[in-house]
Structure 1
Amino acid sequence: MNHPHSNENPGKIGDFTVRPLDPTSDAELVHGWVTHPKAAFWLMGGAKLQDVEREYMAIAAHPHHEAFIGLHDGEPAFLIERYDPTEVELKGLYEAEPGDVGMHFLVAPSGTPIHGFTRAVITAVMRFLFADPSVRRVVVEPDVTNSAVQALNKAVGFEVVREITKPEKTALLSACTREQFEAATGGTDR
């Protein structure tokens, strides 16, 4: 996939948009992303196509979990999962606050990496989440050994709360309020 840089707007990586993930038509695309070696922390390395379709069918049917495809200049480039952390992933594992939303994101593997792209993606993901006025805080639980995503989280305003033990990993529970995000990135406005 080729992402030419625009000369008219130096420093801008491109336009990001988000659409709902379709478990049937997007399964093949997403399968290639989640089984890529760079997606090891997604814990789906050995998944078959039907496993991915089944996983996202279950998310689509879940009342507290949603999945989206993020587009970069109109091309699929990242995956977002938004969930209610009091019902999914973190239920009973942390001190919930009103307006909390949980998030996972995964950038598609690329043969031609763009400097700053992943940080631009997480910023776009956070803008997308905070576009909902009921969201006051984003909560994440990356693997304690995933230092790359921890650095990205910190760059957009996340603060570590504490380590938590989940069935599949030891995670670094982290949270970011709307105010922390705005302070770290210069605001939620584009």
Structure 2
Amino acid sequence: MRFEFQPVDPQADAGLLHGWMRQEYAVFWGMNSSTVEEVRAEYAGIAANPHHDAWLVQDAGTPAFLMESYAPAHSPLAGTYPVQPGDRGMHLLMGPPDAPRRGYTAAAFHAVMVFLFANPAVDRVVVEPDVRNTKIHRLNARMGFETRERITLPDKTALLSFCTRDQFRVAAASSGQPGSQQHSPEQISPEGATL
């Protein structure tokens, strides 16, 4: 696996992302019934927002997943918990696989965490998945996230969870995750967008 993080191009990528968001497993993303134009508008808005980023991640040239990162203080999380300066929020949506690959989603999630922690300003990753999304809760725990509490957001009841740099380092070392030794958060520069 060779993951390359590229900023989403709202015009060029809207059709692809629309197809991903219409998948049954993407129901928690909240855009199952969106049109291509609505997806394009959503990502044009993100591209114009200095507090929110969207990345289309490719694996050896093939689109593999979508990752969004955001500043919690400038998001619906503002006011739901005491935001710390080094907090960075994250959302992850896997593209539909051609064929299931055991451990692939975990490897992608691991790459996302390395990518986020490559920025020295990020001390803690924050996630707020829907409380019903049990698959992602298990994966979050595997990556080192600790659940804080249930919170009410405009679109869902969410499970607010946090993972510090040290928690991720310990989880990665103990999980046997492929690549955890080759790519520690200290080895990737903020500009190094390839894992």
TM-score by length of 2: 0.88
Partner of 1:68: 55
Partner of 1:44: 31
Counterpart among 127, 131, 134 of residue 114 in structure 2: 127
Deviation at residue 17 of structure 1 after TM alignment: 1.4
CA RMSD of aligned residues (A): 1.0
Question: Secondary structure of the equivalent of 1:71?
Answer: strand
Partner of 1:177: 164
- Deviations along 1:34-90, one digit per CA (max 9) or x if unpaired, are 111110100100000000000000101112111000111221100010100011131
Q: Does 1:146 align with 2:133?
A: yes
Q: Which runs of 5+ in 1 are unaligned?
A: 1-13
Supply the distance in 1 between the matched residues of 2:98 and 2:6 (Cα, whole angstroms).
Answer: 24
Q: Percent identity?
A: 48
Deviation at residue 149 of structure 1 after TM alignment: 0.3
Supply the distance in 2 between the matched residues of 1:162 and 1:52 (Cα, whole angstroms).
Answer: 30
How many residues align? The count is 177
Higher-RCO chain (CA-CA 8 Å, sequence separation at least 6): 2
Supply the distance in 1 between the matched residues of 2:93 and 2:19 (Cα, whole angstroms).
Answer: 12
Structure with greater helix percent:
2
Supply the distance in 1 between the matched residues of 2:113 and 2:87 (Cα, whole angstroms).
Answer: 13
Supply the distance in 1 between the matched residues of 2:12 and 2:106 (Cα, whole angstroms).
Answer: 27
Deviation at residue 169 of structure 1 after TM alignment: 0.7
Q: Which runs of 5+ in 2 are unaligned?
A: 174-183, 188-194
Residues 38, 109 of structure 1: 8 Å contact kept: no
TM-score by length of 1: 0.90
Runs of 4+ in 1 over 2 A off after TM superposition: 186-190
Partner of 1:100: 87
Supply the distance in 2 between the matched residues of 1:85 and 1:177 (Cα, whole angstroms).
Answer: 15
